Amino acid sequence: MKQEFPKGEINAISGRSLVIQGDDIDTDRIIPARFLKCVSFSALGEQVFADDREELKGNHPFDLYQHKGSKILVVNDNFGCGSSREHAPQALMRWGIRLIIGESFAEIFFGNCLALGIPCMTASKQEIIKLQKLVNQNSNQIWDFNLRELSISNQKESFKLDLERGAYKMLFSGKWDATSQLLDAEEKINNTVKNLPYLNNFKY
């Protein structure tokens, strides 16, 4: 089945969750450097956390059958630190992740996720631990994320989340998506091109 990637306004996400525990998980763990030679990002989803998964021999959360199709990743502190490689959020997105919740995120990783339409929401250490525990207790439960209310909830529990105001506005308005903005402005762009003298043999 063809995978659908984020587009337009990102104001709600529903799906199952999975947990990756540990502080300071860097981009080299998310996608090892040897996979950066790829010509396109299309196959990166298969290689996300490749070394960790190899070490755990099928017992890594990204390999467990019950997590197949999960959209929400719950992590701990300083997730995505290390190098600035955009391949890390690309790999997570192409595996299927559409929302990441943690205590904090490395600044460049946060920005790279935002550029893909993947919200990186934060909560306190205590709330993250509680959320991770609930997710691990029942991997089949559906969680509903609401950007307007800055919350995620299931049928019994609700957690308040936080997001930097600028990122909130970009996701809610859909202005995070530069490609969509260009397509929406196609007529204006074409009109501008027609009036550029150096593209029209300097004819006015």
DSSP 74-90: E--SSBTBSS--THHHH
The helix/strand/coil state of 112 is helix
CATH of domain 12-173: 3.20.19.10
At residue 1, does pLDDT exceed 60? no
* Residue 20: predicted pLDDT: 98
Type of residue numbered 158: S
In this structure, how many other beta carbons lie within 10 angstroms of the beta carbon of residue 63? 15
pLDDT surpassing 80 at residue 23? yes
Residues whose CB is less than 8 angstroms from the CB of residue 6 and which lie 6 or more positions away in sequence, other chains included: 93, 98, 116, 117, 118, 177
Cβ(162)–Cβ(101) under 8 Å? no
For 140-198, the pLDDT digits (tens) are 999 999 999 999 999 999 999 999 999 999 999 998 877 666 666 677 877 787 777 77
Q: Mean pLDDT throughout 31-52?
A: 84
For the record, the structure tokens of 76 come out as 């701990």
Residues of each domain in the chain carrying CATH 3.20.19.10: 12-173
| Model pLDDT for residues 79-137, shown as the tens digit of each residue | 999 988 889 999 999 999 999 999 999 999 999 999 999 999 999 999 999 999 999 99
Question: pTM of the entire structure?
Answer: 0.87
